[in-house]
Structure 1
Amino acid sequence: MKRSLAPFACVLALFAAPHAIAQETGVSATATMQGPGGEDLGRVTFAETPSGLLHVFVEMTGLPAGPHGFHIHETGSCETDGGFESAGGHYAGDREHGVMSRNGPHPGDFPNVHVGQDGLLKVEFFTDRLSISEGDNPLMDEDGSAVVVHADPDDYESDPSGHSGDRIACGVIEQPT
């Protein structure tokens, strides 16, 4: 039986996608992620796709192993003193938290991310609930938005934050100038 390599080519293309999509549509944004001590932990890249979906690509290191809540927060601020509380609450829109809620999820809710024993996190998502600067739920509104990684996994239902615990990493979402 002869097998096609097409599915593998699609997967490989997705790993290169943040840069290819950003060039193709020209609309992108990046969050430089920092830990509680201000240390650089990596990047989260956002790129609008030709289909209208927002592609989110995460590359981080130095995180504790295990599952963690991963959310977009409503304010583009990541002050280290105060445990990143300056990022505000989840980017909620008019929704409740979690995919298990009848009135959910928040536009800024994403699946839990899983960090390996080596502290490495590399994952990507697609969403139609957010945009970069135009449309519904823009990341680049008047006060901006931030990406937050939480200490614990999200339970996907407890409002407002899924009992995901302390904020252990934060990055302000910014567009290139």
Structure 2
Amino acid sequence: MRKLILIVSTALLAGCATSDELGPAGDGPVIALVNGAGATVGGVQAEPRTRGSYIRVAVEGLPPGDHGLHLHAVGRCDGPAFQSAGGHWNPAGKQHGHLNPAGQHAGDLPNLTVSTNGRGAINFLATGGALNDADGTALVVHAKPDDYKTDPSGNSGDRIACAVISPAQ
């Protein structure tokens, strides 16, 4: 477990941004990303920025391929299916996906690519507003890629990993 946290922390810190908007990497705590059995499969950092939150995700041990990645409305990750996280974070009442003319949810994020060795990492700016509302937010990894248009979840399949971004972070 310590080895995985060290690997995840190193991967997260390696994705440092250089723009003034994003600022230096590594300021926030690493939040455990867990699978349906409760095992740690990666880590997440979420750091407030002027226009949203800069998020870093690193995973190890997930199936290879592209996976939908979304912010969900409730900061709970009760396994094995993570239904406790609710629907996508959608404070503006939009439809799903940046390719949907009526979209997009604030919680719609880019797909996470996992290589054949089970590792993947992604960094991005989530611009939908503050993630640290009263009940927190959940970052969920899905089994299949998001098609960026089909409401409500982009046909991204089951929820296979989850991390809670709590109000204190």
Q: TM-score scaled by structure 1?
A: 0.77
Closer/same/farther in 2, CA of residues 123 and 97 from structure 1, 3 Å limit: same
> Which runs of 5 or more residues in structure 2 are unaligned?
1-12
Preserved CA contact (<8 Å) 2:135 2:166: no
* 1:172 has 2:164 as partner: yes
Preserved CA contact (<8 Å) 1:152 1:166: yes
Q: For the pair shown, which has the larger CA radius of gyration, 1 or 2?
A: 1
- Code of the residue aligned with 2:121 in structure 1: it is K
- Code of the residue aligned with 1:99 in structure 2: it is H
- Code of the residue aligned with 2:44 in structure 1: it is V
- Code of the residue aligned with 1:152 in structure 2: it is K
Counterpart-to-counterpart distance in 1, 2:96 and 2:115: 26
Query: How far did residue 35 of structure 1 move?
Result: 0.5
Pairwise CA RMSD: 2.3
Partner of 2:123: 124
Partner of 1:87: 85
Partner of 2:44: 44
Counterpart-to-counterpart distance in 2, 1:129 and 1:43: 21
Q: Residues 1-177 of structure 1 correspond to what in structure 2 (within 5 A)?
A: 15-17=15-17, 20-21=24-25, 23=27, 28=28, 31-49=31-49, 51-81=50-80, 83-93=81-91, 94-131=93-130, 139-174=131-166
Identity %: 38
Counterpart-to-counterpart distance in 2, 1:77 and 1:46: 16
Counterpart-to-counterpart distance in 1, 2:94 and 2:74: 17
Query: How far did residue 174 of structure 1 move?
Result: 2.5
- Code of the residue aligned with 1:39 in structure 2: it is A
- Code of the residue aligned with 1:34 in structure 2: it is V
Counterpart-to-counterpart distance in 2, 1:157 and 1:175: 30
- Code of the residue aligned with 2:136 in structure 1: it is G
Preserved CA contact (<8 Å) 1:30 1:175: no
Preserved CA contact (<8 Å) 2:67 2:156: yes
Query: How far did residue 160 of structure 1 move?
Result: 0.6
- Code of the residue aligned with 1:57 in structure 2: it is R
Query: How far did residue 98 of structure 1 move?
Result: 0.3
State how many pairs are aligned: 152
Closer/same/farther in 2, CA of residues 48 and 142 from structure 1, 3 Å limit: closer
Counterpart-to-counterpart distance in 1, 2:61 and 2:23: 24
> Which runs of 5 or more residues in structure 1 are unaligned?
1-12, 132-138
Query: How far did residue 42 of structure 1 move?
Result: 1.5
Query: How far did residue 14 of structure 1 move?
Result: 7.0
